[in-house]
Amino acid sequence: MTKKIKTENGEMKEPLEDTDIDVKVEDPNARGEWGSKAEFVLSCIGLSVGLGNVWRFPYLAYENGGAAFVIAYIILQILIGKPMYMMELIVSQYCGRGPTAMWAMNPSAKGIGISQVLISLIVAIYYNVIMAYTVYYFFGSMQKTLPWTKCKDEWAVDGCVEKTTHKLETCTGNVTLDMVGKCLCSPTNYTFNEGLSVNCTNTSNTAVSELYFYKTVIQKAPNMYPSDMGAPIWQLALCLLLSWVVVVACLIKGIKSSGKVVYFTATFPYVILIILLIRGCLLDGAIDGVKYFIVPEWEKLASLDVWAAAAGQMFFSLSVSFGGIIMYGSFNKFRNNAYGDALLISTMDLVTSIIAGFVIFTTFGGMAKQIGVDVKDVAKGGYGLAFVAYPEALSNLPPPQLWSILFFFMLFTLGLDSEFALLETALTCIQDEFPRLRKYKTHMCIGFGVVLYLIALPCITPGGDYVVTLMDFFGADYSVLFVATCESIAIMWVYGIDRFMQDCTYMLGHEPRPKYFWGFCWFFCAPLLIGALFLYRMIKFKSPEITKDVPYPEFGQGIGFALTALVLIPIPLMFLYKFFNAKGSVMERLRKITTPDETWGPNDGSMKDPKTEGFNMSKKYGVDNPAVDANGEGYMHM
């Protein structure tokens, strides 16, 4: 009798002739698993540790009370961040399914998974545009003279200066004060200007690094009307193409290829951060920058704005509810210690943010001391930090080309890991819904790369910066908060925290410890605090701005709200679709669509083919399954 061999999806097949019986046959339809524990952990770290840790966290801390902000951040990470991260990891590992298929646990909530896919695709589009900026600067760093250190003649009218200087204030009419340096003319009172005893100027001093980014790199248009958009900038189009080629090449075989790449992309940034930290600490004036970063302003802990800023940063830094954590967790082995992984990865995210803060502000302190200004004159956030302030700071470190190359290559690798997860989330969900497509994962990856590249072209036009801001603000910021609220309610309140705890106990062999703390965070803190944050952000809604105090035009805000609706509409639509397709009274329908379907169960093989087990597996959970037990002890249904 011919022996059979087991394929990756659990099926038994005849071995090929002249094939050794121990050879593992790879099924093209198999879902696959991580090659090693290290690949999973590094991929998750790469997803959570991204560009925001370097350019957003340090400036938010500086702007919101230094150490007071960090304390608020830590508290919220403990109450919301770690619990949500662990919840997503445990659920996905338990069922072995991605963000859409996992909702067999609560069919009415499947729209949440679809919304997460849409958010991931939107973020993948504009995130790669930002990575294209880093590619542009990476190659620009190889020139003999760094292009962001020399003023062009046409920038003279913009007050171009090659070193950041004190920000000019409007002239006061006081001879003593105005004689200290140049001052700005009054924009409205011309009689006042004529009576001044000093010559005023109509142009404020603008650092060459700022003009280089806005006038050469992105060529920013004055407004976002269609007539201002222009054609794609060819240099950025090539950089964006290169970025997408790298992403697609690394994801060509899914996690089997990206899992190998992260050994470099997830660890290299730490090497560069440590090098930059050591170099920054050796600068004269470094301690001045550190004071701005960590000296606490305790009174700011009483401000809701500080807590909202900390919650927003914590939420998006960990990438909770984007679908990436669920996707990565679904490829884990069933008995993997997801509990320990969640704590490790979320802690690494916090540690990286703090290290990045010291890297940035030691360098800013040295730069401020060298050119004779305050740290607040050189500190910027977001784009301004990554592509304006820090490049100028690095230009003061010999040899500037080396430090610039290392910094921008580090930014690219930081973004690369996050981009892997964003794209793979969409691919995994499609393949979970249509398993036959798994054999075409290479074609799908290339196809998605081409389509998303074409969709991103408006983001690299002169008006593209407004498009990127719109996609980030309306397509991801508010949307993901609403999705997270619905997700935590659908799992902890509808599926039930008792069921969740039982599933966790079955998979890990023990309850999450301490049980009551995690239960409190999952059942109360996560849904209520995230929901409160969403409402607070809506009440305090403020449109993105074209320039200071000039909001986006109404048509731009309209497009933004339409994008938000597109992302969130699957949640109510899927609920209504399930409801109206169910049979019975209203309560019977609600009970039906919120009860786990017959495919729901643990991903340990016991639910793969219920007919072969000899008992009815309908509506069974891990703790109810009499065919399996945990730690050698049978579990009784509680």
What pLDDT shows up at residue 165? Answer: 59
Residue 174 counted as an annotated binding residue: no
Instruction: Determine the longest span between alpha carbons in the chain, in angstroms.
Output: 107
Distance CA(232)–CA(462), nearest Å, equals 7
- Please check whether residues 307 and 344 belong to one and the same domain: yes
Half-sphere exposure of 437 (CA within 13 A, CB side): 15
- Please check whether residues 78 and 193 belong to one and the same domain: no
User: pLDDT band at 184, cuts 50/70/90?
Assistant: low
Q: Per the structure block, which two tokens stand in for 570?
A: 């699957």
State pLDDT tens for residues 521-542.
Answer: 999 999 999 999 899 988 988 8
Query: Is the pLDDT assigned to residue 60 strictly greater than 90?
Result: no
DSSP one-letter string for 342-381 = HHHHHHHHHHHHHHHHHHHHHHHHHHHHHHT--HHHH---
Query: Is the pLDDT assigned to residue 100 strictly greater than 90?
Result: yes
Nearest to 30 by CA among 443, 423, 331, 442: 331
List C-alpha distances in Å: 509 to 491, 623, 632, 633, 636.
Answer: 21, 11, 10, 10, 14
pLDDT > 90: percent of the chain: 47
List C-alpha distances in Å: 498 to 54, 106, 285, 501.
Answer: 39, 15, 55, 5
What pLDDT shows up at residue 611? Answer: 36
- Please check whether residues 427 and 551 belong to one and the same domain: yes
SS3 73: helix
What pLDDT shows up at residue 24? Answer: 47
State pLDDT tens for residues 255-293.
Answer: 888 888 999 989 999 999 999 899 889 888 889 888 888
- Please check whether residues 612 and 591 belong to one and the same domain: yes
- Please check whether residues 79 and 182 belong to one and the same domain: no
Q: Is 233 or 19 the better-scoring residue by pLDDT?
A: 233
What pLDDT shows up at residue 616? Answer: 42
- Please check whether residues 493 and 592 belong to one and the same domain: no
Half-sphere exposure of 405 (CA within 13 A, CB side): 10
H/E/C letters for each residue in 17-35? Answer: CCCCCCCCCCCCCCCCCCC
- Please check whether residues 277 and 130 belong to one and the same domain: yes
Using an 8 Å Cβ cutoff, are 236 and 460 in contact? Answer: yes
Using an 8 Å Cβ cutoff, are 383 and 472 in contact? Answer: no
Query: Is the pLDDT assigned to residue 238 strictly greater than 60?
Result: yes
Say how many domains are in the chain.
3
Burial of 277 (0-12, 13-18, 19+ CB in 10 A): middle
Establish if 81 belongs to a structural domain. Answer: yes
Mean pLDDT of 160-176: 64
What pLDDT shows up at residue 300? Answer: 86
Residue 197 counted as an annotated binding residue: no
Establish if 19 belongs to a structural domain. Answer: no
- How much is the mean pLDDT over the chain? 83
Residue 351 counted as an annotated binding residue: no
Name, in order, each residue with C-beta under 8 angstroms of 242's C-beta and a sequence gap of 6 or more: 132, 135
Establish if 153 belongs to a structural domain. Answer: no
- Please check whether residues 75 and 98 belong to one and the same domain: yes
SS3 252: coil
Residue 46 counted as an annotated binding residue: yes
Establish if 561 belongs to a structural domain. Answer: yes
What pLDDT shows up at residue 257? Answer: 85
What pLDDT shows up at residue 298? Answer: 85
List C-alpha distances in Å: 6 to 9, 11, 22, 330, 331.
Answer: 8, 6, 10, 21, 19
Read off φ and ψ for residue 633, nearest 5 degrees: -115, 130
**Phi-psi group of 121: left, alpha or beta (phi > 0 → left; psi -120 to 50 → alpha; rest → beta):** alpha
Q: Per the structure block, which two tokens stand in for 407?
A: 């910094």
Nearest to 317 by CA among 63, 79, 85: 85
Q: Which H helix or E strand runs over 550?
A: strand 550-551
Burial of 561 (0-12, 13-18, 19+ CB in 10 A): exposed
Half-sphere exposure of 134 (CA within 13 A, CB side): 23
Establish if 86 belongs to a structural domain. Answer: yes
Using an 8 Å Cβ cutoff, are 309 and 64 in contact? Answer: yes
- Please check whether residues 520 and 405 belong to one and the same domain: yes
SS3 284: coil
pTM score of the predicted model: 0.85
Half-sphere exposure of 564 (CA within 13 A, CB side): 17
User: pLDDT band at 154, cuts 50/70/90?
Assistant: confident
Query: Is the pLDDT assigned to residue 513 strictly greater than 90?
Result: no
State pLDDT tens for residues 566-596.
Answer: 999 999 999 999 999 999 899 999 999 999 9
Angle (CA) 241-325-593 rounded to 5° is 115
- Please check whether residues 593 and 509 belong to one and the same domain: no
Residue 375 counted as an annotated binding residue: no
What pLDDT shows up at residue 535? Answer: 92
In DSSP terms, which residues pair with 13 in a beta bridge? Answer: 5
Query: Is the pLDDT assigned to residue 395 strictly greater than 80?
Result: yes
Residue 199 counted as an annotated binding residue: no
CATH number at residue 339: 1.20.1740
Angle (CA) 385-387-389 rounded to 5° is 45
Distance CA(620)–CA(613), nearest Å, equals 13
- Helical packing angle, 268-281 and 286-294, nearest 10°: 120
Establish if 163 belongs to a structural domain. Answer: no
Name, in order, each residue with C-beta under 8 angstroms of 68's C-beta and a sequence gap of 6 or more: 296, 297, 298, 300, 301, 306
Mean pLDDT of 77-93: 93
Establish if 4 belongs to a structural domain. Answer: no
Residue 529 counted as an annotated binding residue: no
- Please check whether residues 45 and 87 belong to one and the same domain: yes
What pLDDT shows up at residue 317? Answer: 85
Domain of residue 193, residue span: 168-204
Query: Is the pLDDT assigned to residue 629 strictly greater than 50?
Result: no
Using an 8 Å Cβ cutoff, are 258 and 424 in contact? Answer: yes
Give me the sign of the Cα torsion angle 127, 400, 159, 374. positive
- Please check whether residues 176 and 46 belong to one and the same domain: no
Establish if 12 belongs to a structural domain. Answer: no
State pLDDT tens for residues 195-213.
Answer: 555 566 655 677 888 899 9
